Amino acid sequence: MILEVGFTFPMRLWALCVVPILLLIYLAWGWKRRPRKTGERTGLEALFPKRKAWKRHIAVVAAIATIVSLTLAWAMPFGYVNVPRERATVILVMDVSISMEAEDVAPNRLKAAQQAAIEFIHELPYGFNVSLISFAATAALLVEPTQDRGRVEAAIDSLQLRQSTAIGEGIYAALDATALIPPDPNHPNDPCPVAIVLLSDGESNTGRSSSAAAEEAKAQGIAVFTIAFGTADGYIMDRGRRNPVPVNKAELRNIANISGGRAYSADSLGQLREVYAGISRSVGYERQEAEITERFVGFGVIFGVVSLLGVMSLAARWP
């Protein structure tokens, strides 16, 4: 899919100025009428009877479209397209603090996050490595970078809730996991692109600073994409009492801004799926420039054939 179009020689597009001139000439010619005797046809009517006017219009429009297409081709257009990356590593960092038990997102925050995360890893290009880290009071590497989606899915399904929230520790664990990324067998000396996707619903209350962790990620050239998951009305039951656990977006937004990533938020499973789809496009594809001159030449040939057939139809005398 072409995202946008540019031209190697944009000055050649000035040739398109001839198009409105040709249109004006055609309209003036078509509307021209001269006095004539009753029953006499002159001008365009003599050449092209009224019953064939629609053919004439199609032939002229196709001819002008041919000029436009070939002029655009002459300017040598190029487009930017999204091309799947051959390889990269996505490190999924998931919050398993007690607040993820809140049911403001059905069936609860953790289960919805698990479901969307599994769908996300299966949307990534085949050659990608995926790693999983969970965090609460501490962070744990559950799956090292691997192409085995089944292992990652099983680990996501087995996530268990724990006390406290240490977002910074989750980021540091993800950075440590980059040392375990297997080298590309075809290009063993090339660094592998890495992105961290961090999902949480709260703010840190223990562990090292998440801002410092984001700075370290930036220093290593690794962007952190953050997802604030939940609503302002979330709560959990603690000893029979309702304990509010509203989602906190500020810390996650700060992490994304510092590291060079992007901050997202979602308050439903449907929105979370959309967020993951957007992240998949961001990390799974790279923007490349591709010349598309031949496309415009092809359009020109098609329009030219249509115009030629129209003219032949007008000139033909069928029995």
Peptide bond into 188 cis (omega under 30): no
> How far is the C-alpha of 234 from the C-alpha of 311, rounded, in Å?
70
**Placement of tokens 């000893």 in the chain:** 239
Largest CA distance in the chain: 103
Predicted confidence at residue 58, as pLDDT, reads 82
Return the sign of the alpha-carbon dihedral for residues 156, 162, 163, 168: negative
Helix axes 250-259, 167-177, angle to 10 degrees: 30
pLDDT for 116 = 95
pLDDT for 226 equals 96
Q: What pLDDT shows up at residue 46?
A: 52
| Domain spans, the chain | 2-32+40-80+290-315, 85-267
What's the confidence (pLDDT) of residue 165?
96
Looking up tokens 């799947």, which residue turns up?
84
Place of tokens 């040392």: 179
- The pLDDT of residue 318: 40
- In whole angstroms, give the CA distance from residue 30 to residue 32: 6
CATH of 85-267, one of 3.40.1190.20, 3.40.50.1820, 3.40.50.410, 2.60.40.420: 3.40.50.410
Tell me the CB-side half-sphere exposure of residue 20, using CA atoms within 13 A: 2
Tokens of 139: 């962070």
Nearest to 212 by CA among 164, 166, 162, 165: 166
Residue pair 281/238 in contact (Cβ under 8 Å)? The answer is no
Q: 10-residue block means of pLDDT along the chain (319 residues)?
A: 71 86 78 53 51 71 87 81 72 96 94 95 88 97 95 96 96 96 75 90 92 96 95 90 92 96 92 88 66 81 83 58
99 phi and psi angles, rounded to 5 deg: -60, -20
pTM over 0.85? The answer is no
